[in-house]
């Protein structure tokens, strides 16, 4: 997240439970990230977790005394298991061992952490679970049965990841990295305005090769499109992101298809378009490409004559999707250098789409902030200057509102 992004968890109180597992070391980093994002974190540890990391470390990182025993007499009413769940906005178990998941599934309560999970008000303190275990333990039918039970009871299961395991084996069962868990906790608090919807989005520039080493491209960084992909996923949508050449991390839970040229983007988008209910064309697609591709690098010939290129027009991906009989709800972007409203309105008609989002290209390309102008048949609305993730969430709200209309 960028420096301009507001604290994503300001005012949130996270009850972080650690059960026993080598992934406990990742929870130390997670506490740092959660607190940096504005949350307060109360740590509860099982005796097994204390074998892997000390309460001293976690107290120092969270700035709060860690609770490890239901018999801890510091609580005036001596009911830590009740108080902890009443104060929290969410309970996150990370790492959740196979044994602890089994306990949660059975509703056992023989130590403080499971007791607290059982005693928490279900409607006010939801449960997030980040499993961490050996791949055989994860794949075991007993664990899978227990995880299914937790899901049915309303818990959200985060991960696990696949990859190298501490035991030397490779497979499913690694706990998500701290940064991934942070993204999931932030997503969890976003309203699910697009739950069950499928959204397709293009982002970034395209690169139109002249020869094997050179090409025509533009200054689009892809940040706005990636922020919209993230915001849509946070809102519960199933998101497919078709990205031009950019070096941005894929937002969690988003399916990404990488392309280079406008033709490749067109080829990737068109067959997918009708499988989605929403299409957002954020990409700064090159309007033209060199008509021919030189097989080898064009060399200076020593005669001071510059090469000339014939250009040919690229297909308009947005207009092509908007012309499909079974088209999704289409949102176009207009990156202009002046007369935003005029150009946006003109694009609305030319591309035959219900919504155009205008922004000033030179003022936003590569930056972490932006300002948007939403233009539709009814009128226009300004989304004032802000960080791109906040703007993306507002745009998602606008799209959800339009889809909700009968």
Contact residues toward ligand C5P (CB under 6 A) are: 202, 262, 281, 283, 285, 314, 316-318, 332-334, 347
Question: Which of 167/363 has CB closer to ligand C5P?
Answer: 363
Give the Cβ contact number of residue 92 at 10 Å.
26
Phi and psi (nearest 5°) for 302? 80, -5
CA angle 150, 151, 157 (to 5 degrees): 90
272: Cβ–Cβ under 8 A, 6 or more apart, which residues? 200, 240, 242
Which segments of 46-197 are extended strands (E)?
90-96, 127-131, 156-157, 161-164, 170-174
Question: Which of 21/332 has CB closer to ligand C5P?
Answer: 332
Pairing of strands 238-243, 90-96: unpaired
DSSP 8-state symbol, 125: S
Question: Which of 230/347 has CB closer to ligand C5P?
Answer: 347
> Is residue 167 flagged as an active site residue?
yes
Question: Which of 78/275 has CB closer to ligand C5P?
Answer: 275
Question: Which of 184/316 has CB closer to ligand C5P?
Answer: 316
- Residue tagged 């701290």 (tokens): 178
- Alpha carbon 197 to chain centroid, angstroms: 15
- Alpha carbon 31 to chain centroid, angstroms: 20
Question: Which of 112/348 has CB closer to ligand C5P?
Answer: 348
Long-range CB pairs of 334-341 (<8 Å, 24+ gap) are 334/358, 334/359, 335/220, 335/284, 335/359, 335/360, 335/361, 335/364, 335/365, 336/360, 336/361, 337/361, 337/362, 340/373, 341/373, 341/375, 341/380
d(CA 204, CA 32): 31
What are the catalytic residues?
A: 167
């Amino acid at each position: 997240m960028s420096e301009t992004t507001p604290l994503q968890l300001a005012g949130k109180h996270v009850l972080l439970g650690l059960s026993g597992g080598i992934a406990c070391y990742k929870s130390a980093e997670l506490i740092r990230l959660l607190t940096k994002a504005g949350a307060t974190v109360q740590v509860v540890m099982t005796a097994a977790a204390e074998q892997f990391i000390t309460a001293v470390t976690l107290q120092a990182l969270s700035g709060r005394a860690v609770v490890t025993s239901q018999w801890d007499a510091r609580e005036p009413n001596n009911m830590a298991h009740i108080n902890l769940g009443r104060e929290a906005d969410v309970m996150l178990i990370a790492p959740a061992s196979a044994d602890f998941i089994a306990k949660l599934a059975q509703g056992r309560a023989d130590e403080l952490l499971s007791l607290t999970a059982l005693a928490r008000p279900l409607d006010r303190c939801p449960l997030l679970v980040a499993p961490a275990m050996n791949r055989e333990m994860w794949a075991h039918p007993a664990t899978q049965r227990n995880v299914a039970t937790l899901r049915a009871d309303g818990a959200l299961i985060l991960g696990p990841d696949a990859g190298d395991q501490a035991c030397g084996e490779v497979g499913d069962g690694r706990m998500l990295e701290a940064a991934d868990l942070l993204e999931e906790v932030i997503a969890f608090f976003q309203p699910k305005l697009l739950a069950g919807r499928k959204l397709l989005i293009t982002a970034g520039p395209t690169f139109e090769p002249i020869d094997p080493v050179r090409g025509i491209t533009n200054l689009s960084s892809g940040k706005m499109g990636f922020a919209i992909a993230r915001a849509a996923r946070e809102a519960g949508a199933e998101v497919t992101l078709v990205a031009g050449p950019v070096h941005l991390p894929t937002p969690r839970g988003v399916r990404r298809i990488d392309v280079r040229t406008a033709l490749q983007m067109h080829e990737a988008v068109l067959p997918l378009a009708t499988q989605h209910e929403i299409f957002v064309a954020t990409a700064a697609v090159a309007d033209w490409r060199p008509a021919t591709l030189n097989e080898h690098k064009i060399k200076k010939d020593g005669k001071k004559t510059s090469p000339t290129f014939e250009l040919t027009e690229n297909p308009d991906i947005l207009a092509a999707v908007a012309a499909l009989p079974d088209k999704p709800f289409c949102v176009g972007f207009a990156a202009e250098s002046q007369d935003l409203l005029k150009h946006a309105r003109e694009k609305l008609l030319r591309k035959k789409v219900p919504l155009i989002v205008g922004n000033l290209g030179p003022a936003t390309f590569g930056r972490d902030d932006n300002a948007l102008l939403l233009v539709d048949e009814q009128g226009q609305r300004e989304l004032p200057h802000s960080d791109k993730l906040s703007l993306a969430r507002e745009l998602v709200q606008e799209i959800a509102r339009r889809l909700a209309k009968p």
